[in-house]
Amino acid sequence: MSNTHNLESGRSINLAAISSNGKDFVSDRQSAEEEFSELRDELIELQRRHYAANRDKLLIVFQAMDAGGKDGTIRRVFRGVNPQGVIVTSFKVPSKKELAHDFLWRVHKAVPGKGMIGVFNRSHYEDVLVVRVHDIVPESTWRPRYEQINNFEKMLAETGTVVLKFYLHISKAEQRERFQSRIDEPAKNWKFSFDDLEKRKLWPDYMAAYEEMLERTTTAWAPWHVIPANQKWYRNLAITRVIVSALRDLDPQYPEPEQDLSAVRVE
């Protein structure tokens, strides 16, 4: 079930042909919400064991168009986990110091250590998306990055990091509704930026960039999942299914005490 939206390496990608509608996969929202609640309880317990075991590393990458739901996904999916064991990193416009290094420098520093779950809200993939669409760097600079990213993620996988990558797939019509709600609802005004409207005009260019990104960087060690995200309730369920499945495979266990505690009594 967790492989429903998993891409296969070498597959040609046409995002317009992939449904962004979660109702195409689960029609009953109530049952989806119930399953999500159960899975999140399991996620909370698995994350505690993952942190205590201090053995494996889990990196979760989220990419999406503006208003795609990255922030909301992170809030909903990881609600209730031990915050000591989950670190969320949001990659904004790189600083002068970061630009003085290779594009993966700031990313590698944020990769999770043993026992940790690292969550990337945007990621190193901005360096084959935004820089391409807005001509920030020449093609001769960004095109080699596909292979560099694949090699980077392969190194992470070979050294004990499980990499899960999610593209939150919304339709252009859904993005319009979400932008409009940011304008119409005062509590959401702070989320709105006129830059979002300028980027929206470049939707076809972004889709082409995302399609090539998905095609070129879906690998056996770090495949992409294209998650139908028009319905937030289905988006949350689909992502939690994948994360819980990965943690089940890792099978983290609480470590045995270093000393015999059977005779210890606290006075």
Residues 116-124, mean pLDDT to the nearest whole number? 97
* pLDDT tens per residue across span 130-152: 999 999 999 999 999 999 999 99
Q: Residue 3 and residue 201: Cα distance in Å, rounded? A: 33
Q: How far apart are CA 40 and CA 249, in angstroms?
A: 16
- Classify residue 69: in a domain, yes or no: yes
pLDDT of residue 239: 98
Report yes or no on 162 lying in a domain: yes
Question: To the nearest 5 percent, what fractions of the chain are helix, strand and coil?
Answer: 50, 10, 35
As for how many domains the chain has, the answer is 1
Residue 266 lies in a domain: no
Q: Measured at the alpha carbon of residue 251, what is the angle toward residues 249 and 254, in degrees to the nearest 5? A: 165
pLDDT of residue 1: 43
Could you tell me the CATH number of the domain that includes residue 157? 3.40.50.300
Residue 267 covered by a domain:
no
What does the pLDDT look like over 194-232, one tens digit per residue?
A: 988 999 999 999 999 999 999 999 999 999 999 999 999
Is residue 264 a part of any domain in this protein? no
Find the domain containing 205 and state its range: 15-250
Q: How far apart are CA 107 and CA 120, in angstroms?
A: 9
Residue 2: per-residue pLDDT = 60
In a domain, 255, yes or no: no
Domain presence at residue 88: yes
Whether residue 145 is contained in a domain is answered as: yes
